[in-house]
Amino acid sequence: MPSGSVASPSGGGDPSGLEEWLRGIEVLASAGKGVDTQQVPEVLCRACVRLLPVSGASVSISGGPTARAMWCASDRVAARLAEVQYTLGEGPCQTALGAVGPVLAVDLAEDPGSGRWPVFAHEAVGLGVRAVFSLPLGTDEAAIGTLDMYRDQPGGLSASELAIALWARDAITLALMKLLPHPGSEQVPGDEGAPWMRASQAEHSEVYQAMGIVMVQLGADPEEALDRMRARAFAQGRTVTEVARDVVARRSGFRPE
């Protein structure tokens, strides 16, 4: 069952909050009707932006600490925010994946909680992002990705708004579980049922190739190779994907320190 299944908002039975929650659930439920199964996560992601006081949203899926691919994004900033976290290896989505729990950063410029990711917070504010909400997709035991939302102004979500976001998270989880291969299945990357594998390969194939090259150049393990690529990307103000392209094209390389 999806992590943290959502009931109606509590808190004294506030009629306005309950009406807001019911309207949100109705909109989300109708959004996926008649839509191709593979497009449901994106439709629900974009519905969150219409329903909630957020500026944009994205859905990313994860196959481990070094395998992460963005499934969809509502806008360029949301997409860039996902790439920044992958490049740096830190941020709300990384924390949400590790803790298998929601991470709500209401003000990246002032909130002491953003001190958990000082470099990410600096980069996000530079993109015009002030608040980020990351909700893990999956079960209570394991996350398969995150629903990430951002605001260009500081501020949190009300109880009814958070309930809507969590309901959307659960709906996106169920949609992805119909699309992703199950553990122990015999599906292969070419199967129709393995879009996550194809998406991951298409999105980060150059990163994986570059990691292998850097491992040989440095005599390092995969994590160290990725860390070195991330460090160079940050120092040059680029993404890890851009650094990887240069490594694969032999335009740049790494030497042991």
Domain ranges of the chain: 15-179, 195-248
The whole-number pLDDT of residue 197 equals 43
pLDDT at 96 over 50: yes
Fold observed for domain 195-248: Arc Repressor Mutant, subunit A (1.10.10)
**How confident is residue 75, by pLDDT bands cut at 50, 70 and 90?**
very high
Digit-coded pLDDT (tens) for 23-48: 666 666 666 666 677 788 888 899 99
C-alpha to C-alpha distance for 71 and 252, rounded to whole angstroms: 29
Higher model confidence: residue 24 or residue 73? 73
For domain 15-179, the CATH class is alpha beta
Instruction: State the Cα–Cα distance between residues 109 and 102, nearest whole angstrom.
Output: 20
Question: How large a percentage of the chain has pLDDT more than 70?
Answer: 72
- CA contacts within 13 A on the Cβ side of 193: 9
| pLDDT digits 0-9 by tens, 104-132 | 999 998 865 557 898 899 889 999 999 99
- The string of pLDDT tens digits covering residues 208-244 is 788 888 888 988 888 888 888 888 887 887 777 888 8
CA distance 188 to 201: 12
Give CA–CA dist 24/129, Å, rounded: 24
